[in-house]
Structure 1
Amino acid sequence: MARRPTPRQRLDQLLDRFGGDIRAAFIESVHEIRDTARIAAIAGALEAGNVERALELIGLDPAAFRSLQRSLRTTFEETGVVVVRDIPALRDGQGVQLLLRFDPGNPAAARWVENRGARLVTAILDDQRTALRQALSDGLAAGRGPRSVALDIVGRINRATGKREGGIVGLTSGQYQTVANARQQLLSGDPAELRAYLGRQARDKRFDQAVIKAISDGKPVPADIVDRALSQYANRMLDLRGEMIGRTEATQAVGAAQREAFEQVIDTAKLDRDVVTQVWLATHDSRTREAHLEMDGQETGFDEPFTSPSGALLMFPGDMSLGAGPEDTIGCRCVVITRLGGREAAAA
């Protein structure tokens, strides 16, 4: 007979499942923007030198990220259901077992989902506009044709798959700069710059021979090969961003749902909050922050925050409500185990 997962294993399963779902929803949203962008109109605006109009025509809109917001909501609601379902039986004063259910319509629960989804999409769009405005300006300044610049932004059709690939849409402003720097290296014709490109881990190695030949000939890499190589490079950047968003948002949503689930159980069962405690558990591998490894095993009361060595306060992994910054939240893979009177009850 298969053994039931431990509380830690159950939480890790939820994070893996929903992290993948959120990642996929983000990528889907990016592709919707790319696929519906009006390339001819964007090129026309660029030809007229109107960068702001071109940016508008790309179609950056909160509605494009509805699948991402929906995935975040699903993560929160389904996690809450699992957590409450797996809490050990509780009884009232007459010894009757309490019926426990998670209510996603609870005002606090609904408010968290709405606020987090809105903040996430706003942050993505604000950074995206910065990256795309710079990319459009850089393309024009470099003398690239308007249509070529438009395709740099939204990606080019892969003839084999019929799908649009590459492009800056979906990348952070920092990632855009990484791609722009790679373009400069490939077009430089400078052997030192071309060798530096070959040191980029996210490059597509299928184009290495063209780069090696350019080094040997002392010439830039042909423009058509540069476009193809950077398309794949941007694809990999987008995958990395999707993975980071998936992990970060899943950690936040699972942690917030877990906490809200226990809030509802405490209220239903009329529990003394002093008997509810929580323990921070870090993931022990090379990717875990040193600060969070130091937090491993830290125990607090249910209403008390965890304290990072950085000084940041968090009610659960990924929590930003008390001011914790990216250094304590982005990509976090920690979990919290909650105990009722000494019994582990987090997704047990």
Structure 2
Amino acid sequence: MARKTAQQRRIEALLQRQSAAVRKAFLEAMRKATNAVDRDALIRLLEANEVERAAALFRLERGVAFPLEEAIRNAFIGGGMAVADDLPKGLSGAFGFDGRHPRAIALAERQAAALVTYVSDDAVSGARKIIVDGLSRNRSLNSVARDLVGRKVGRTRQGGIIGLTEPQTDRMIRLRSMLSDPEQISDYFKDADMKIPRYKESDRRFDAMVRKAIKSGKALPAADVDRIGDAYKSKASGNRAKVVARNEAFTAQAAGREEAYQQLLDDGKVEAVTKKWQHGFSKEPREDHLRMDGETIDFDEVFVMDDGARMRFPHDPAGGPEHSISCRCTCVYRVKLPRD
């Protein structure tokens, strides 16, 4: 296996700090968004069978996600400032990244806004599915509301669906269905020996309880289904926070570095810049990312992926999540100094 370059090591150290900050901000934003949902209004809308209006209560407001936007902005600026370590000595000391440049501000705001919209859409869609499923099963409105906004612990709520992806919400609904039905409960495990839960985000502490119910041919009581569902949501939301943190930090710092080299070109500090795609050390590498390894292009050109996606750099949002999530590729820049 090839050794990591000094630039890769610096980027990974930067990402470790930035990912932690983005993850903390993401979880805080989800907590605030959950607490902002008017539970009384939610119950009234459920009573009136106003599914769409009830689901709309879970749309995130931009202000709630402000700490997340700031964490992304800081990762963007950190990426831009880190470019100084990659420049020739004579240029390194003279370079100062302008994080207040209108283009830099717009890029950071666009990324944060896209994330908020993505999470918000998942929350509304997930809420709609839980409401429809709950009403169709004639569950109590309080039970449905608990699934949606969690339970009150002190002054805050825990265990709501805001922050879950749509597939995670689908699995939670399926989980409740299995555990509540004696004919389906055996599907909780994916193996005949009942050792491995079907969903990796299931809390293993409940395995013995579910095995006992399966052997007795009974479904679980509603209270136990709630406990298992809450535990699933907690683990699932934590997993999403990790993925979001890594991906958003990687995207922000990559965009910050690209912007830094653009500023160098704009200021005339360098004559030209080239960029090389450097494959990372992913456990499941994408074939086109492997093929791209070592490809070098001019700064104003784009990398063209097998599916036609055109990306300025690894983690460019233009490539979509299919080229960003869990990707560890980086861009290596080289500058050509002006002739005296």
Q: Which amino acid aligns with 1:263?
A: Q
Any conservation in 2 of the 1:55–1:132 contact (CA below 8 Å)?
Answer: yes
Aligned residues: 327
Q: In the TM superposition, what is the alpha-carbon distance from 1:294 to its structure 2 partner?
A: 2.4
Q: In the TM superposition, what is the alpha-carbon distance from 1:59 to its structure 2 partner?
A: 6.2
Does residue 111 of the first structure (1) align with residue 95 of the second (2)? no
Does residue 280 of the first structure (1) align with residue 273 of the second (2)? no
TM superposition score normalised by structure 1: 0.86
After superposition, residues 80-99 of structure 1 pair within 5 angstroms as 80-84=80-84, 86-90=86-90, 99=94
Q: In the TM superposition, what is the alpha-carbon distance from 1:58 to its structure 2 partner?
A: 4.5
Residue number in structure 2 paired with 1:312: 309
1:303-328 CA-to-partner distances (Å, cap 9, x unmatched) read 2212323332211111133xx23321
Measure, in 1, the Cα distance between the counterparts of 2:73 and 2:188. Answer: 45
Residue number in structure 2 paired with 1:267: 266
Q: In the TM superposition, what is the alpha-carbon distance from 1:163 to its structure 2 partner?
A: 5.6
The structure whose RCO (Cα within 8 Å, separation 6+) is larger is: 1
Measure, in 1, the Cα distance between the counterparts of 2:53 and 2:320. Answer: 34
Which of 125, 137, 144 is equivalent to 1:142? Answer: 137
Return closer, same or farther for 1:289/1:24 CA change in 2, 3 Å cut-off.
Answer: farther
Does residue 184 of the first structure (1) align with residue 177 of the second (2)? yes
Which of 313, 322, 327 is equivalent to 1:332? Answer: 327
Q: In the TM superposition, what is the alpha-carbon distance from 1:72 to its structure 2 partner?
A: 0.8
Return closer, same or farther for 1:11/1:98 CA change in 2, 3 Å cut-off.
Answer: closer
Measure, in 2, the Cα distance between the counterparts of 1:57 and 1:109. Answer: 33
Measure, in 2, the Cα distance between the counterparts of 1:60 and 1:144. Answer: 26
Which of 172, 188, 194 is equivalent to 1:194? Answer: 188
Does residue 303 of the first structure (1) align with residue 297 of the second (2)? no
Q: In the TM superposition, what is the alpha-carbon distance from 1:330 to its structure 2 partner?
A: 2.4
Residue number in structure 2 paired with 1:120: 115
TM superposition score normalised by structure 2: 0.88
Name structure 2 gaps, 5 residues minimum.
191-195
Measure, in 1, the Cα distance between the counterparts of 2:118 and 2:188. Answer: 34
Any conservation in 2 of the 1:100–1:268 contact (CA below 8 Å)?
Answer: no
Q: In the TM superposition, what is the alpha-carbon distance from 1:221 to its structure 2 partner?
A: 1.4
Q: What RMSD, in angstroms, separates the aligned Cα atoms of the two structures?
A: 2.3
Measure, in 1, the Cα distance between the counterparts of 2:331 and 2:322. Answer: 18
Measure, in 2, the Cα distance between the counterparts of 1:89 and 1:120. Answer: 37
Return closer, same or farther for 1:36/1:312 CA change in 2, 3 Å cut-off.
Answer: closer
Q: In the TM superposition, what is the alpha-carbon distance from 1:90 to its structure 2 partner?
A: 3.6
Residue number in structure 2 paired with 1:51: 51
Aligned partner of residue 188 in structure 1, secondary structure? coil
Aligned partner of residue 278 in structure 1, secondary structure? strand
Q: In the TM superposition, what is the alpha-carbon distance from 1:250 to its structure 2 partner?
A: 1.4
1:95-124 CA-to-partner distances (Å, cap 9, x unmatched) read xx9722111121221221122222221222
Return closer, same or farther for 1:163/1:301 CA change in 2, 3 Å cut-off.
Answer: same
Measure, in 1, the Cα distance between the counterparts of 2:58 and 2:115. Answer: 20
Measure, in 2, the Cα distance between the counterparts of 1:325 and 1:115. Answer: 14
Any conservation in 2 of the 1:247–1:332 contact (CA below 8 Å)?
Answer: no
Measure, in 2, the Cα distance between the counterparts of 1:195 and 1:252. Answer: 37
1:126-184 CA-to-partner distances (Å, cap 9, x unmatched) read 232112122122211211111111110011246xx886332212112221111111111
Q: Which amino acid aligns with 1:168?
A: I
